[in-house]
C-alpha cells in the first residue's frame, strides 16, 4: 500500500510539473510572437532553459528510480 501511495503521489507531482511547464511554454510563445525578429529562430536562452528543465526531470526520475529500487 505504501508503494502505491508513493507512486500516486509521484504521478500527481508529475502532472503538476507538466501543467507548469505547459503554462510557461504558452507564456513564452506569447512573448516570442510579439517580438518580430525572434520568429526566425530560437534565442539562446530557450536552449539553456530547456537544458535546465531536462536536467531537473532527469534528476527527478533518477531519484524516483533509486527510491523504488531500494
Mean pLDDT for the stretch of residues 42-52 = 82
Extract the C-alpha cell encoding 3. Answer: 508503494
C-alpha–C-alpha distance, residues 53 and 70, integer Å: 26
Phi and psi angles of residue 44, each rounded to the nearest 5 degrees, phi first = -60, -30
Percent of the chain with pLDDT over 90: 20
pTM over 0.75: no
Mean pLDDT estimate for the chain: 83
The pLDDT tens digits of the residues spanning 11-43 come to 999 999 989 888 888 888 877 777 666 556 677
Domains of the chain, residue spans = 2-69
Amino acid at each position: 500500500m505504501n508503494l502505491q501511495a508513493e507512486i500516486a503521489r509521484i504521478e500527481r507531482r508529475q502532472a503538476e510539473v507538466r501543467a507548469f511547464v505547459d503554462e510557461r511554454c504558452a507564456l513564452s510563445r506569447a512573448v516570442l510572437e510579439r517580438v518580430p525578429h525572434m520568429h526566425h529562430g530560437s534565442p539562446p536562452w530557450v536552449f539553456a532553459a530547456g537544458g535546465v528543465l531536462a536536467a531537473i526531470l532527469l534528476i527527478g526520475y533518477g531519484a524516483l528510480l533509486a527510491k523504488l529500487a531500494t
